[in-house]
Amino acid sequence: MALMIRCILYPGAHLFVTSGGKEQGASILHDKVQEICELIPSFNREIDWSRGKTLEGKDKVRYVFKNGSVLDNLAARESTRGQRRHGGLMEECVGIDDAILREVIIPVMAISRRAKDGTTNEQEPLNKSQIYITTAGYKGTFPYDRLIGFLVRMVT
């Protein structure tokens, strides 16, 4: 829901959800968007459901909002290298290979969102935002180290 709200509030935003498997990420995103649209019909009215805009497939899901924002899933693979998004959500990040996360997924968020007048605001909270969701991991894994790093930064 947080990504959908960001897509609505920030026109032209390009956000993503990724997981250990491409089909897993697509399934999670599809199920949650459908559930939210059913519970809160106003979200349903913000998505452009016309043919050719929103795509719901087995391994690729893409929701285009009426204000030009896009929410889709990305594969945690080498084939994702070079794509660009403004922010994203790493679902079940304990299942994502740490090298792929560091070298492919995080660099995808290398651009800032442009406002309607063409300018960028480096202080915008949407830019390069990362949300990590996972079950309990193991000490010494990348998600665990990332969590400790975030905790230390929050305390300081």
- 59 pLDDT higher than 70: yes
Across 89-108, average pLDDT = 84
Which residues lie closer than 8 Å to 80 by C-beta, 6 or more apart? Answer: 18, 74, 104, 105, 108
pLDDT per position as a tens digit, 7-40? 999 898 999 999 887 788 899 999 999 999 999 9
15 three-class SS: strand
Residues 107, 111: Cα–Cα separation, whole Å: 9
Kindly list the domain boundaries of the chain, sorted by start residue: 2-155
- Give the pLDDT of residue 136: 62
Residues 104, 150: Cα–Cα separation, whole Å: 20
Across 54-60, average pLDDT = 90
- pLDDT above 90 covers a percentage of the chain that reads 37
Which residues lie closer than 8 Å to 43 by C-beta, 6 or more apart? Answer: 1, 4, 8, 36, 37
- 114 bridge partner residues: 120
pLDDT per position as a tens digit, 108-124? 888 887 777 778 877 77
pTM over 0.95: no
Give yes or no for a contact between 18 and 12, defined as CB atoms under 8 angstroms apart.
no
Q: Domain 2-155 belongs to what topology?
A: Rossmann fold (3.40.50)
